Structure 1
Amino acid sequence: MDVLLGLFLFCVLLNTGAALECEICSAMGSRTCTGRMKTCAAVEETCSNTLIEVSQDEQEFPVIIKGCASFHKLITNQYYFTIGGGKIFRMSGVYCVGEACKSALPELAPIQTKPNGKQCPACHSYTSTCPDEVVQCTGSQHYCFKSVSHSVIGYPDGLDVNILMKGCTTDALCDLLNLGKYLSLPGIGNHMAGECWPAKNTCQ
């Protein structure tokens, strides 16, 4: 369904002969943002709204990012992972064109709090190493993962950082990592690559 919609939007742009323009903005602590319009590059066929939310101790911290994107790099699945210290990451995206982008908001996976009897090493660091703790997986998190991502903090003129993460996750993120693909957030060049394996039972 996503592919068919993407092809439809692409054909509309071809038929009108118009250059694609997308709103470019990001905001921390909010699910909305506004910014300037930008003419997208030829390899960017659509606009994208990406929502990331970090939850800890019943507090939620959202980040919204809007920009130009390529269909083959879009975040459209619901990614959900736990990295220890009570931190839960959820991420999803939608693509859109024109006025629809102003109200298009990705739907995040629901937070699952019930332990499922599995555990993983977990950590979160802005360096190449970090001490592991053991995190209890919950709900449909049946896999452990390790990833290194390159991000720009403080878009658009922010600081380049590498982020190391380990923890529990679902099959959606594992499918991505095990295929050697990466996540790319619109406009800020966030790339995430790593590996995934089945989580061990707590009693093992």
Structure 2
Amino acid sequence: MQVLMGLILFFTLLPTGVSLSCEICSGETNCTGERKACPEDKNACAINLMEGFRDSNRFWAINKNCTPSFMCNLQSVGVVLDKGKSLKESITCCLENNCIPAFPELPRSATTHNGKVCPTCYSTKRECPKKTVYCTGANIYCLSFIMIQVFRGKVVETTTKGCTSATSCFTLTQFNGTLFPGSTIKNLTCTLAKDLGLKGPSPSSQMFLWTLLLMTLCCGSLASQ
């Protein structure tokens, strides 16, 4: 009996492990908050940074929270929209108690057109205008989804369409619905972009170059007379 009681006491006094504690807050470009214990199913501290547009105005949203460690495999996401706009998101994590993740870096926007085109939209209206955007860099896929967020106490559904990369397509597909805290994604599709057979400058840039060339030839011929 004494041996049995001793074993019970021994296992009772064994350390059960320290639960993970992370900083919890949300804001725009940065935020600070109290450290709180994480639920058992969330074993990593994360910083999630997002850049987007609302009513043609650029905005940033940052969230520091506990997260499942599989979310740490999320690659940076970038979507090329109309008129030089883009939607970007990145996450960084750490797994030790009271750790501080590195501040996330958003992906850089490529500027060289790759000859492909996609429908583009970033609107809270259900029907998007028929517009297209010329894809750049490694963005060879057309992406479309609806993001549902709570903004200033109201539920906002934003339709997003544009060019994106194969990596972003894979990430959005794998983590569909759980990307940014407080938001969900639905109706996500990702297809290869249409090839216009154009390389380098966009059609408008090419027209400018042809006009410049004709003016040069014209002026050169007049000067030689």
Contact 2:22 2:38 in 1 (8 A): yes
**2:24–2:34 Cα contact (<8 Å) kept:** yes
TM-score of the pair, normalised by structure 2: 0.69
Contact kept? 2:19, 2:97, Cα under 8 Å = no
Moved over 3 A (4+): 59-62, 72-75, 97-100, 176-183
Higher strand share: 1
Match in the other structure for 2:211: none
Question: What CA distance in whole angstroms lies between the structure 1 residues aligned with 2:148 and 2:175?
Answer: 15
Query: RCO higher in 1 or 2 (8 Å CA, sep ≥ 6)?
Result: 1
As a proportion of its length, which structure holds more helix? 2
Aligned to 2:65: 67
| Residue 195 (structure 1) aligned to one of 157, 177, 189 | 189
* Aligned pair partner of 1:160 in 155, 160, 168: 155
- The residue identity in structure 1 corresponding to 2:107 is A
Partner of 2:20: 20
Equivalent-residue separation in structure 1 for 2:175 and 2:31 (angstroms): 32
**How many Å separate the matches in 2 of 1:16 and 1:80?**
42
Determine whether 1:85 maps to 2:53: no
Bigger Cα displacement from structure 2, 135-144 vs 60-69: 60-69
Deviation string, structure 1 residues 61-83 (Cα, Å, up to 9, x no partner): 43221111112345630111112
Deviation of 1:179 after TM superposition, in Å, equals 5.3
Q: Does 1:173 align with 2:168?
A: yes
SS in 1 for 2:138: coil
Secondary structure of residue in 1 paired with 2:168: helix
Deviation digits for residues 134-184 of structure 1 (CA, Å, limit 9, x no counterpart): 101001100001111222335xxx433222100100111211345583443
Report SS of the residue matched to 1:131: coil
Whether the aligned pair in 2 keeps the contact of 1:75 and 1:185 (CA below 8 Å) is: no
Equivalent residues of 2:74, 2:171 under 8 A apart: no
Please state whether the residue corresponding to 2:84 is helix, strand or coil: coil
What's the C-alpha RMSD, in Å, of the aligned pairs?
2.7
Secondary structure of the 1:174 match is helix
Specify every segment of 5 or more residues in structure 1 that has no aligned partner in the other structure, as ranges. 1-14
3-state SS of 2:22 partner: strand
Query: 2:179 is matched with which residue?
Result: 184
The structure with the largest alpha-carbon Rg is 2
Quote the residue 1:39 is aligned against: 37
The total of aligned residue pairs comes to 180
Q: Cα offset for 1:43? A: 1.6
**Partners of 2:50 and 2:61 within 8 A in 1:** yes
